[in-house]
A and B are shown apart, each in its own frame.
With several copies, the nearest count.
Chain A
Amino acid sequence: MMKVLVQEQDFNIAAEIADIVSKRTDIGGIVTFTGLVRDFHGSNKIQKMTLEHFPGMAEKQLEAICKTAQERWPLLGGTVIHRYGPLNPGDQIVLVITLSAHREAAFDAASFIMDWLKTDAPFWKKEETLSGTHWVSAKDADTLKAEKWQK
Chain B
Amino acid sequence: MDLLYFAHVRENIGCSSEQISLPDNISDVSGLINHLRAKGINYQSAFENEDIIRVAVNQLYVNFDHVISEKDEIAFFPPMTGG
Task: Judge A-B direct contact (beta carbons within 8 Å).
Answer: yes
B6 & A35 in contact (Cβ 8 Å cutoff): no
CB distance from B71 to the nearest CB of A (A): 17
A117 & B83 in contact (Cβ 8 Å cutoff): yes
Work out how many contacts link A and B, with CB atoms closer than 8 A: 71
Question: What residue of chain A has the Cβ atom nearest to residue B58's Cβ?
Answer: A57
Question: What residue of chain B has the Cβ atom nearest to residue A122's Cβ?
Answer: B80
Q: Contact check: which of A52, A54, A121, A137 meets B75 at CB < 8 Å?
A: A54
Q: Mark A111-147, 1 if CB is under 8 A from B, else 0.
A: 0001001111111111000000001111000100000
At the interface, yes or no: A94 with Cβ under 8 Å from chain B?
yes
CB distance from B29 to the nearest CB of A (A): 16
Q: Which of B69-83 contact A (CB under 8 A)?
A: 75, 77-83
Chain A residues lying within 8 Å of B59, measured Cβ to Cβ, are 54, 56-57, 60
Chain A residues lying within 8 Å of B8, measured Cβ to Cβ, are 135
Chain A binding surface SS class: mixed
What's the interface size class on A, roughly? 20 to 34
Question: What residue of chain B has the Cβ atom nearest to residue A62's Cβ?
Answer: B82
Chain B residues lying within 8 Å of A125, measured Cβ to Cβ, are 81
Q: Mark B39-81, 1 if CB is under 8 A from A, else 0.
A: 0000000000000100010010100000000000001011111
Chain A residues lying within 8 Å of B81, measured Cβ to Cβ, are 118, 123-125, 135-138
A138 & B7 in contact (Cβ 8 Å cutoff): no
At the interface, yes or no: B4 with Cβ under 8 Å from chain A?
yes
Given A94-B83, A118-B83, A138-B78, 12 additional A-B pairs, CB 8 A = A54-B77, A56-B59, A57-B59, A57-B75, A119-B80, A119-B82, A121-B80, A122-B77, A123-B81, A126-B7, A135-B78, A142-B83
What would 6 A/B residue contacts be, using CB atoms closer than 8 Å? A52-B7, A54-B4, A54-B77, A119-B82, A124-B6, A137-B78
